[in-house]
Structure 1
Amino acid sequence: MTGPAARRAVLWMPDWPVTAAVAEGLVDPQVPVAVHDARGVLVASAPARAAGVRRGMRRRSAQQICPELVLLPTDEVRDARAFEPLVQAAETVVAEVAVVRPGMVVFLAHGPARHVGSEDALAEALVGTVATETGAECQVGIGDGLLTAMLAARAGVLVPSEASAEFLAGQDVGTLTLAFSTRQAAARTAELVDLLRRLGLRTLGEFAALEAGDVAARFGAHGLAAHRLARGLDTFPPSTHRPEDDVLAATELDPPAERSDVAAFVARSLAEQLAERMLRRGVVCARLRVAARTEDGTELVRTWSIDGTPTAAELTDRVRWQLEGWLSGRSGRPPSAPLTRLELLAQEVSPAGVVQDGLWGRARRGEAQAGRAALRVQGLLGADGILVPVLQGGRDPRGAARMVAWGDDAAPLRRTDAPWPGQLPAPWPATVPTEPVPVRLLDAGGGDVRVDARGTASSTPTRVLVPPPGKSAPVVRAGEYPLLAWAGPWHGTERWWSEQGRRRAYVQVVPEGVPALLLALERGAWCVEGVYD
């Protein structure tokens, strides 16, 4: 199931780290400027690019090409602090935006475009409002899926729905890194891009042409998400199960916080608390909502877009950046009073699935090696060669689990918290055979025990006969076992109105010398449905 991609709009500020440094008065906008980290140049201004400075270039090489180049170290706090006025300006046009990273915001385009009249009018209104209120130049792009909208913003175009595949086809495969903002996801994407290039796949079109099953088998869940982006789809297919509840962490600030460093100290423990709660529930979130309340009752709210499995440190960074933007005194609309309450809300929560952290933290080297080994085996056996069990709603143990291919979306198709009338009573067996094992349930006279349409047993069961197994390993040793106890039967009918309807009866038995068994009667034959290990 692919599912349509949501129509998204992205507002992008070119060369934002340089623009932020200029806004803070650190450099003259007319001189060549480059922002760098330990590896090299990250962003170069237009005058620096005209002199030959390029991203990824070593600092010494950049200075040799352009001796007058001003080098500034990267500062994410500075970038976020200077970006807050622009986000506030965008919110005068669009009710709710999410910050992907300083210099870029994203939002669903359908509602705002319908409100202002068209997508062209929406883009024009955003560019004009930001320029009028902040003096900064921005670009707006609209397209189906996050990556399409990001690339459209860089080109300053609106991509029609029917042209998304054509627009993406010629783009370099390295543009996949733009769609991931957390450190872990960005690093994994960079490794994926390097591998794709070594395999000769240099454009998004060539990557998108691969079969999804082959991508999952070779590159895993992260590669499958990148493949969906290359096809102009959302990262994950739309979910058919009930969404998870939001995860909240909140605290009162006493005394109220007026400075960003004081509030950031509290935010760190709050972010760690939120990350721990998500870990315990085994979920990840796509959006982080940072909300604060001031002494005079004013509410401050900002939403950050998040991908992958963010660490507590990454959550802390985003909260710290947001508090710096509010409390630094450079915001277009600063808080009217000190902060008295701070809360973090994880939104668009979904099961972590195969990307869930382990019990003692993130996946260790052995787990990563096991995952790679599973992918290699899957490449030899096919996409269905390695299956992962996923618990879901159902009336019996076999129906409450489904098997999905390694790397696929490990989400339940049926709600686990929904009412299931006629559900088999607890406890359920720990072991469920791959295929039901035929047995005979006998009474004192040696006759087979039957169950009528009203759910009444024809006689009292006294023993169970397990025939020798075939080629498969036995679930229960062959033999005839007297019963120490039994319970049931429980009668269940599913889809009685259709040809796929089933009528079954269940009995729990405790044979002498072997574990307790769950037996099911269907179409006149008994079989082992589960073993109570």
Structure 2
Amino acid sequence: MNAQIQPVTTASDKPKAYGARGPAGQRMAAVWVPNWPLLVAMLAHNLDATQPAVLQRGRQVHVVSAAARAFGVRRHMALRAAQELCPQLHILDEDPDLAAREFEYIAQVVETIVPAVEIIRPGLLLFAARGATKFYGSEDAVCAAVIEALADRAQCEAQVGVANGILATILAARTMRVVAQDQTQEFLGPRPLTDLTYAAVTNQQQVALGQFLSLQQRLGIKTFGALAALPHAHVHTRFGDIGAWAHRLASGLDIREQSPTRQEPDITVSNALDPPVDRIDTAAFAARSLAQELHRILLEGSVTGSRIEIMATTSAGEELTRTWRTDDSALGAMSAARITQRVRWQLEGWLTASSIAQQRRRKAALAVSEIRAVPGSVSGASESQETLEHPEPVTLTRLQLTAQFVVPTQTHQESLWGRSDGANRRAQSAIERVQDLLGPHAVLALAPAGGHTYQDRITSGWWANQEAPARDGKQTWPGQLPSPAPATLFQDPWDIVVVDERNLLVTFNNRLGMSASPYAVIQTDPRWGVAKVAQPVRNWAGPWPIRTRWWTEQAQHCVYLQLVLDHQPALLAVYRQGNWYCEGIYD
């Protein structure tokens, strides 16, 4: 595979004059399909829109359908509580690949109205509003045309909004508004700062943004107007890149101010696919190599791009093009793994027939059959209007990736206190390499969270889908176990026996009174190498009672002890339902 760097000079490379605060946000339109991941999941399971359904993430509700919301089901609600409110609730698993693949059909429908679109994430896309407005006569007419096309061809409800700047445009779509050019500040000013999450591109950006928003809440900065009133330089100095990013969006500007004195050419890498490719796995392998090459070139040039254009050439000579917006605050735009993910999503959309299109064809076929059942009701003209689309299989002969709107990025040098991000970047690259080899679910990430027990204070999730913990780990939980925490926690606690001097089991009564002091621990787990050998207890601390879910039938009463042994590591022992378990060890 020979990747070639092909600098592309466009009209945007010419210097432009900007004001003192940089360019005003570009006039854009956003198309937002509410609950898109749930919509396609319901379609894949042949569920009607009137049936209550949710997407689960962990043990909580992540996305709620309108029918489920009518029963009182809400986001972040426990699944068990949601099922109690709605016994007929359909609980579905989230499938990012399916959501991205099906959204290609939505983008194709929108492109019948406007010339080019940019996908921010599955369910949300942008397009320049100026050209479409000239063609249709007004911005309201553009919005109406897009909504009508999606309702007719994709049978889905979409919301469209127009405004200046990325954030204002996204929020305009969520509120179905056309914001006048001179009303951006008035539109954004009173809105809560938490709306910034709608503009985040990657999961890592969402995690960093969650920490930033938590700090702003404690500082009393709760609206876009309050943040925009602060000097940009001060926000950047105090809060770093995420603060600068948030301040620009809160001010109604685009994400990054392009320098008029240094214009970087677009960076392109391409590869001829010989033999032609019609399988997703083969195309994804070629895409990964190109993504790694493009990412390497961006890193070596210390540049970043705000858009990744994916172009594929078919065996019929047709060029398929799609643009994805990236997190251009990061060196190299996106990691190689995330670029590969976007390319794979796009290739699946091109090579796989859309379920939405298939459903539309089935409905159209049913409508035609019903009309033909009425004698003399179908003319030649009406039959031509009901012609069904049967796309030919796609075979790819060439694949090309282009980083667009390339600008220099800040140097990643040591901070004031001597800390460098180089080690973190190398560690992240190594983790993403493992994901490339073993898959996205090969690496688990741990994060501190809030809770009473040590187990509750650690949450885990896939590295590729990191989210801020639902429970704040910085807050103090009344009655929580004291520090220090064990060096090792066992996911599955193993059995032990804690006895007193008379070799009787140490127990607790209803008033949490201990029957006797711990004298020895009989360790029965084979991980200790010797089974059923009593180890004397040299010292102990506790007891600490914990009552969990006391308001439910699954309520548990636990009592914890720290046991220091003579010739073994100290143990974290828990007494639960008449038995002793070891949950962790101290080094």
Give the TM-score range, shorter chain: 0.5 to 0.7
Question: Which amino acid in structure 2 is aligned with residue 346 of structure 1?
Answer: A
Q: Which residue of 1 aligns with 2:149?
A: 129
Q: SS of the counterpart of 2:179? A: coil
Find the partner of 1:171 among 191, 198, 207. 191
Q: SS of the counterpart of 1:287? A: strand
Pairwise CA distance, 1:65: 3.0
Name the % identity: 41
Q: SS of the counterpart of 1:362? A: helix
Pairwise CA distance, 1:121: 1.0
CA shift in 2, pair 1:335/1:149, >3 Å: farther
Question: Which amino acid in structure 2 is aligned with residue 348 of structure 1?
Answer: F
Question: Which amino acid in structure 1 is aligned with residue 401 of structure 2?
Answer: L
1:324 aligns with 2:348: yes
Residues 122-168 of structure 1: CA distance to partner in whole angstroms, max 9, x if unpaired? Answer: 11111111212211111100111100000000000101122111111
Pairwise CA distance, 1:336: 4.7
Q: Which residue of 2 aligns with 1:197?
A: 217
Question: Which amino acid in structure 2 is aligned with residue 343 of structure 1?
Answer: Q
C-alpha separation in 1, matches of 2:263 and 2:113: 29
* 8 A contact 2:52–2:88 mirrored in 1: yes
Q: Which residue of 1 aligns with 2:303?
A: 283
Residues 276-296 of structure 1: CA distance to partner in whole angstroms, max 9, x if unpaired? Answer: 111111111111111111112
Q: Which residue of 1 aligns with 2:262?
A: 242
Pairwise CA distance, 1:207: 1.8
Match runs of 1:315-464 below 5 Å? 315-330=339-354, 334=391, 336-354=393-411, 362=425
* 8 A contact 2:54–2:91 mirrored in 1: yes
Question: Which amino acid in structure 1 is aligned with residue 425 of structure 2?
Answer: R
1:67 aligns with 2:87: yes
Match runs of 1:216-295 below 5 Å? 216-295=236-315
C-alpha separation in 1, matches of 2:103 and 2:212: 30
Work out the number of aligned pairs and report it: 365
Pairwise CA distance, 1:358: 6.6
* 8 A contact 1:63–1:69 mirrored in 2: yes
Find the partner of 2:337 among 303, 308, 313. 313
Question: Which amino acid in structure 2 is aligned with residue 245 of structure 1?
Answer: P
Q: SS of the counterpart of 2:73? A: coil
Question: Which amino acid in structure 2 is aligned with residue 362 of structure 1?
Answer: R
C-alpha separation in 2, matches of 1:255 and 1:238: 41
Q: Which residue of 1 aligns with 2:41?
A: 21
Using the size of structure 1 for normalisation, the TM-score is 0.65
* 8 A contact 1:13–1:137 mirrored in 2: yes
* 8 A contact 1:2–1:237 mirrored in 2: no
Residues 335-383 of structure 1: CA distance to partner in whole angstroms, max 9, x if unpaired? Answer: 6541111111111111121469976772779xxxxxxxxxxxxxxxxxx
Question: Which amino acid in structure 2 is aligned with residue 322 of structure 1?
Answer: Q
Question: Which amino acid in structure 1 is aligned with residue 351 of structure 2?
Answer: L
C-alpha separation in 2, matches of 1:64 and 1:127: 36
Pairwise CA distance, 1:37: 2.1
Pairwise CA distance, 1:58: 3.1
Match runs of 1:91-110 below 5 Å? 91-110=111-130
* 8 A contact 1:10–1:150 mirrored in 2: yes
CA shift in 2, pair 1:157/1:260, >3 Å: same
Residues 204-248 of structure 1: CA distance to partner in whole angstroms, max 9, x if unpaired? Answer: 222222222321222112201201111211122242123212122
Match runs of 1:425-504 below 5 Å? none
1:186 aligns with 2:249: no
Pairwise CA distance, 1:25: 3.8
Which consecutive residues of structure 2, in runs of 5 or more, have no partner in the other structure?
1-19, 358-389, 414-419, 429-587
Q: Which residue of 2 aligns with 1:302?
A: 322
Pairwise CA distance, 1:266: 1.8
Question: Which amino acid in structure 1 is aligned with residue 205 of structure 2?
Answer: A
Pairwise CA distance, 1:183: 2.5
Pairwise CA distance, 1:27: 2.7
Q: SS of the counterpart of 1:277? A: helix
* 8 A contact 1:293–1:339 mirrored in 2: yes
C-alpha separation in 2, matches of 1:282 and 1:108: 28
* 8 A contact 1:23–1:82 mirrored in 2: no
1:2 aligns with 2:21: yes
C-alpha separation in 2, matches of 1:22 and 1:39: 19
Pairwise CA distance, 1:83: 1.2
C-alpha separation in 2, matches of 1:105 and 1:335: 26
Q: SS of the counterpart of 1:167? A: helix
Residues 306-331 of structure 1: CA distance to partner in whole angstroms, max 9, x if unpaired? Answer: 12321111111111111111111227
Residues 390-435 of structure 1: CA distance to partner in whole angstroms, max 9, x if unpaired? Answer: xxxxxxxxxxxxxxxxxxxxxxxxxxxxxxxxxxxxxxxxxxxxxx
Q: SS of the counterpart of 1:140? A: strand
Q: SS of the counterpart of 2:425? A: coil
* 8 A contact 1:259–1:328 mirrored in 2: no
Q: SS of the counterpart of 2:222? A: coil
Q: Which residue of 2 aligns with 1:138?
A: 158
C-alpha separation in 1, matches of 2:86 and 2:143: 36
Pairwise CA distance, 1:60: 3.0
Structure 1 segments (4+ residues) deviating >3 Å: 331-337, 354-361
Q: Which residue of 1 aligns with 2:569?
A: none
Pairwise CA distance, 1:94: 0.7
C-alpha separation in 1, matches of 2:61 and 2:231: 37
Question: Which amino acid in structure 2 is aligned with residue 71 of structure 1?
Answer: I
* 8 A contact 2:302–2:411 mirrored in 1: no
Q: Which moved more, 1:319-328 or 1:40-49?
A: 40-49
Q: SS of the counterpart of 2:77? A: coil
C-alpha separation in 2, matches of 1:171 and 1:180: 17
C-alpha separation in 1, matches of 2:262 and 2:351: 38
Residues 3-52 of structure 1: CA distance to partner in whole angstroms, max 9, x if unpaired? Answer: 31111110110111111123334433221111122363321110111222
* 8 A contact 2:38–2:94 mirrored in 1: no
Q: Which moved more, 1:55-64 or 1:282-291?
A: 55-64
* 8 A contact 2:351–2:394 mirrored in 1: no
Match runs of 1:78-89 below 5 Å? 78-89=98-109
* 8 A contact 2:189–2:226 mirrored in 1: yes
Question: Which amino acid in structure 1 is aligned with residue 396 of structure 2?
Answer: L
C-alpha separation in 1, matches of 2:410 and 2:31: 31
CA shift in 2, pair 1:293/1:69, >3 Å: same
C-alpha separation in 1, matches of 2:275 and 2:31: 37
Find the partner of 1:31 among 40, 51, 62. 51
* 8 A contact 1:5–1:233 mirrored in 2: yes
Find the partner of 1:42 among 46, 62, 70. 62
C-alpha separation in 2, matches of 1:364 and 1:316: 19
1:212 aligns with 2:275: no
C-alpha separation in 2, matches of 1:270 and 1:26: 37
Pairwise CA distance, 1:258: 1.2
* 8 A contact 1:89–1:133 mirrored in 2: yes
Question: Which amino acid in structure 2 is aligned with residue 329 of structure 1?
Answer: A
Residues 439-473 of structure 1: CA distance to partner in whole angstroms, max 9, x if unpaired? Answer: xxxxxxxxxxxxxxxxxxxxxxxxxxxxxxxxxxx
Q: Which residue of 1 aligns with 2:528?
A: none
* 8 A contact 2:351–2:393 mirrored in 1: no
* 8 A contact 2:40–2:102 mirrored in 1: yes
C-alpha separation in 2, matches of 1:277 and 1:61: 50
Match runs of 1:520-531 below 5 Å? none
Question: Which amino acid in structure 2 is aligned with residue 277 of structure 1?
Answer: I
Pairwise CA distance, 1:191: 1.2
